[in-house]
Homo-oligomer: A and B are copies of this chain.
Amino acid sequence: MIIDRIDFRLANDLAELGPLVRALDFFGEAVALPPKTAHRLTLAIDEFVNNAVDYGYPDHRQGEITVSIRHRVEHLEIVIADDGDAFDPLTAPAPDLSGSIEERRIGGLGVHLVRTLATSFAYRREDERNVVTLALALDA
């Protein structure tokens, strides 16, 4: 059995991440994802849902975040969308990865990690939503 696709809908509330992570673990086991792919999948969704909840709704209005996973032959395709304020993660400054422990800034790694681990990454603003589409290799 293969799970070809699974779509989630969440409130903009970090409490949603617990059940979501359990569902991602179930999916990863059901389709026997390689360990790195499974980790990257949870990481990508965790980072972007956290960012949407933390930064996308500064007025604390209720919001909706959707996550869709398609299981293709050679990769997972992930679409994360939120109705928070417009934000293009491709404009997030790249972190400075050199420098000593004293020099390194704390934070600012989430977007970088996901962009680096994804084999493709795109952003669009569509119907008042931020839509991030990314692919993760299945032969990790």
Chain A residues packing against B (C-beta within 8 Å)? 1-10, 16, 19-20, 22-23, 26, 30, 66, 68
A65 smallest CB distance to B (angstroms): 10
Partner of A9, one of B4, B7, B23: B4
- Interface pair A1/B6, CB less than 8 Å apart: no
Task: Provide the main secondary structure of the chain A interface.
Answer: strand
Closest 7 CB pairs of A and B: A5-B7, A4-B7, A1-B19, A2-B9, A6-B6, A1-B16, A4-B9
Q: Which residues from chain B contact A30 at a C-beta distance below 8 Å? A: 19, 22-23
- Interface pair A5/B6, CB less than 8 Å apart: yes
Cα–Cα distance between A1 and B11 once the two chains are bound (Å): 7
A72 smallest CB distance to B (angstroms): 12
> With contacts A23-B1, A30-B19, A30-B23 known, is A7 near B8, CB below 8 A?
no
Q: Which residues from chain B contact A5 at a C-beta distance below 8 Å? A: 5-7, 68
- Interface pair B1/A7, CB less than 8 Å apart: no
